[in-house]
Structure 1
Amino acid sequence: MLEIRVESVLLEKHSRPGSIRGAGESKPFMGSSLTCFQGQLLPYTSANLTLDLVMLFLYLGVEIMRIFFGSKGNLCQRKVPLTISLVLLGPSTIMAVYYMLLQTYVLRLEVIINAILLVFYVFELVLYTVGLISFSSVIISD
């Protein structure tokens, strides 16, 4: 009964020898919850599950730095932290696309969450660009 439910949630399985596999999201709780769910109920080898967890924590580190520099640049109206956050948006986008399309087991829930995440990344890109343009036009006088 449990296996039938898991297979109904499963979207597709990619099996390419030698490819990097991962699971999770940028949000710490959701990513770790989905990785634990996949690790417990889907037939993972220990090497793939370890790789999934390592990639999840690397992605989490990039997201924490991106959000920190973005908020710091926005609150202080500084171009350098905002530019660093804009540069870190690239790896975050690549990881979101990877989790949505290229991991070993792609769940429908992960596809939906990552699609929403990519929409927010587009909004962030537009707002970062507007912020950088407005911060460059501001003349700071002491």
Structure 2
Amino acid sequence: MLLYLSGTYYALYFLATLLLAVYKSQVFTYPHSYLVLDLTLLFLMGILEAIRLYFGTKGNLMEADVPLAASLVLTVGGALLSIYFLLWQTLVLWADSALSAMLFALHGLEAVLQAVAIAAFDS
């Protein structure tokens, strides 16, 4: 159920972050190269999230360790990217901080539950 919630939240996160990037490029002085970097990382994060959710769902339904472990590794990568958007992107607005903090919290909760599920599937 948490994977479903995370997928829905990420779709909204992606759209909101994309709209915020457009807003920041119009209202603030946002260097073109940094805008390209932020948008590239956002699209990379979208691909990573889709693969992560696929492996997480597959591993959970099949009660298989390998897809769930792959999803756990990708969860760590997604968490690092959410930290980038929380702290290190070129221009961080209040809305960016709120959205990214919630995404990071979801990633943390999912990582803990995935580790517990892997341990339960092994025994």
Q: TM-score, normalised by structure 1?
A: 0.73
Counterpart residue number, 1:131: 117
Identify the match of residue 91 of structure 2 among 105, 119, 123: 105
- Richer in helix (by share): 2
Deviation at 1:28, TM superposition (A): 2.3
Query: Which structure is higher in strand share?
Result: 1
Q: Is the 8 A contact 2:17 2:96 kept in 1?
A: no
Q: Note the C-alpha offset of 1:107.
A: 0.5
Query: 1:30 aligns to what?
Result: 16
Distance 1:114 1:48 in 2: 18
1:69 & 1:54 partners in 2: Cα distance? 23
Cα distance between partner residues in 2 of 1:82 and 1:126? 12
Match of 1:8 in 2: none
Structure 2 unaligned regions, length at least 5: 1-9
C-alpha root-mean-square deviation of aligned residues, in Å?
Answer: 1.3
- Alignment match, 2:48: 62
Equivalences, count: 112
1:92 corresponds, among 58, 78, 94, to 78
Consecutive unaligned residues of structure 1, counting only runs of 5 or more, are 1-25, 138-142
How far apart, in 2, do the equivalents of 1:116 and 1:55 lie? 18
- Take 1:112 and 1:105, find their aligned partners in 2: how far apart are those partners? 14
Percent sequence identity over aligned pairs: 35
TM-score by length of 2: 0.83
Partners of 1:124 and 1:102 in 2: CA distance: 23
Q: How far is 1:65 from its partner? A: 0.9
Query: What are the Cα deviations for residues 54-98 of structure 1, in whole angstroms up to 9, with x where unaligned?
Result: 111111111111111111111111111100000011111111111
